[in-house]
Amino acid sequence: MKPIKHYSKSLLMLSLLASTSTLALLSLGLSQPVVLARENENVRQLQSENKQIKTVDFQEFSKKLKEEITEDRQFHVFKLGLGVIRNAVRIGDLSELSKHHDFIMVNNRASHNKYGVPHIIVMNKDDVIVHNQEDYNKQMAELTFAGDKPIQSDSYLPQKQRIHALFKIELDSNRRQLLNAAGLKTPENNVTELDTFTIYSHGLAVDNKFYDEYSHFNNNTNVNITKQRFTENDDLIHNLITTSKAKDQPTDRDKVKTFVMYVANHTTYDWSAANNAVSNISDVNYYLGSDLFSVTKGKKAMCVGFSTTAARAFNMLGIPAYVVEGKNAQGVVHATARAYYDGKWHTIDGTGFINGSRSPLYSENHFNSIGEDSYQLVGINEDTPFDRNYMKIDKVYEEWAPKQKTADLLLVNKDKSLVGLDCVVYVAPVYVDKNSQDSLTQIYKKLKETMESSSKKNPSSVGFSSLLGSASSDIAKLNGSSPLTQEEYDKIHRSMTSILTFFAQLDKDAAEAFEKGNDYQNYLAKTKNAQ
């Protein structure tokens, strides 16, 4: 569960950033044009590619800026990755920015117009500028951890290192899901647009996915993560897999069940922080119980903490997984994991509930009834028709992830994969040919007609309604527009033979006549020859 107040924070920040340019113009006594001519995106991209971008020190930058504008002229300051951070400043006001920022020149100019108003551009000193795709690929080849970068002397906060380019760069949603499944986050994609070029930015260094939230509590316990600390945490998750004996189980489902039951029964649930969250009371313990260290180091967790640890462990076990959010049966915001096994995705609620020696344990029955696939599913970009008991899933990610090497889903420490570096779990479905599908459809319809006729002769006999309903459902699937996989075909065939068996209990003579009839015998012969 999450405190309600933090939901609106991201939207508020986006609204503030979106309105910054308008406020900046007003601060200069200028009005924003009603209609702003927007350049074609392709043209803007071409212009950006033809320009040169570089960082310079304050002395060189201020000298150049004085050549372009008068010292009493006001301008605005763009910070790459954030937007306008200073309004209506003058050259003399810039020296304080030089402590933590580099100054940007584009095409040998220090100032650039936006809506006819001069702007300058700065970035954090640890940020990176790349000039071509090859440089970008090198920078992105391995994760950079915030704690492995120098920390500003007057701040313990994460540096949020970003990467910038004059060509389009961005982190796609799949990579962000991988980061989230590992308990990590990096700053969002950002675009800085000026009149004649665009600068693209996104996060480079990664950190605890709650680094923003921790900053509100002046708590630096779990931020500025180093790769070493992250690796030590992976080792602890490995230990949980070993101790729980999850790796030794015969099926992926058994591995998932064994791991979540063990962790749920050996990790305290933080009911106090949970109750504060429901009451919308800010509590740093909510985040301490939700981040990647909650289960492994804190031994006290909440739903996000349980789900993050589970997703990381499942990926190590060669079971593609990630973290999703929604609402539980009580309508409270909740998180679970999604895991891919037995050829499809499953929702896994591994949140434990022990809080003392007398607390009930997470049992196998609990896993079977609530822990596995007990939520309704809604796409993350779809309207939610429910007010409780649902999870928002990423359909794009779920299509993509099973086709990747499971070790690659770890992003970092791929050697922690317990199934090697080349395991891919996706198996392309085998589809039945149209003749086989049509043959099953026709014989199933004949069986349904036979049962309908029998039910009319035996109106007092109970059971026909259920059999006819199941047959109608199966036939509708056979008549669908999509081709059937072999698995789906076999399932419907088994359903038909099962219905025939029950039909024999209701009308033995009619069922026996159907089984011995030419139509059914020809169907069986075709089926046997096709195998």
Residue 108 has pLDDT above 70, yes or no: yes
pLDDT in tens, 256-276: 999 999 999 999 999 999 888
Question: Average pLDDT of the chain?
Answer: 88
Q: What is the mean pLDDT of residues 177-196?
A: 95
Cα separation, 260 vs 239, in Å, equals 14
Task: Give the span between the Cα atoms of 244 and 136, in whole angstroms.
Answer: 41
Among 25-39, 154-168, 275-289, 498-512, top mean pLDDT goes to: 498-512
pLDDT, tens digit, 9 for 90 and up, residues 214-245: 988 888 889 999 999 999 999 999 999 999 99
pLDDT at position 526: 87
Taking residues 341-355, what's their average pLDDT?
95
Range 226-416 classified under CATH 3.30.450: no
Q: Looking at residue 32, what is its pLDDT?
A: 37
The answer on pLDDT for 24 being more than 50 is no
On the CB side of 484, CA atoms within 13 Å amount to 25
Res. 91: pLDDT tops 80: yes
The distance from CA 67 to its chain's CA centroid, rounded to whole angstroms, is 48
For the chain, domain boundaries = 53-169+187-205, 226-416, 434-529
- For residue 490, pLDDT over 60 is answered with yes
DSSP 3-state of 97:
helix
pLDDT given at position 219: 81
The DSSP string of 160-205 is --EEEESS-----HHHHHHHHHTTEE-PPPEEEE-SS-EEEEEE-E
Point out the least confidently predicted range of 50-54, 96-100, 357-361: 357-361
Asked if pLDDT for residue 3 goes beyond 80, the answer is no
In whole angstroms, give the CA distance from residue 482 to residue 420. 35
Which H or E run contains 207? Answer: strand 205-208
Tokens, residue 109: 């100019």
- 115-132 residue pLDDT tens: 889 999 999 988 999 999
Q: Which has the minimum average pLDDT: 92-101, 165-174, 385-394?
A: 92-101
Please report, for residues 113, 133, 153, 193, 195, the alpha-carbon distance to residue 55 in angstroms, rounded to integers and kept in the order given: 19, 19, 22, 18, 20
Question: 276 - beta bridge partners?
Answer: none
- Does the pLDDT of residue 34 top 60, yes or no? no
Distance CA 48, CA 458 (A): 80
How much is the pLDDT for 27? Answer: 38
The pLDDT value given to residue 8: 36
Give the residue-averaged pLDDT of 173-180.
Answer: 97
Characterize the bridge pairing of strands 321-327 and 205-208.
unpaired
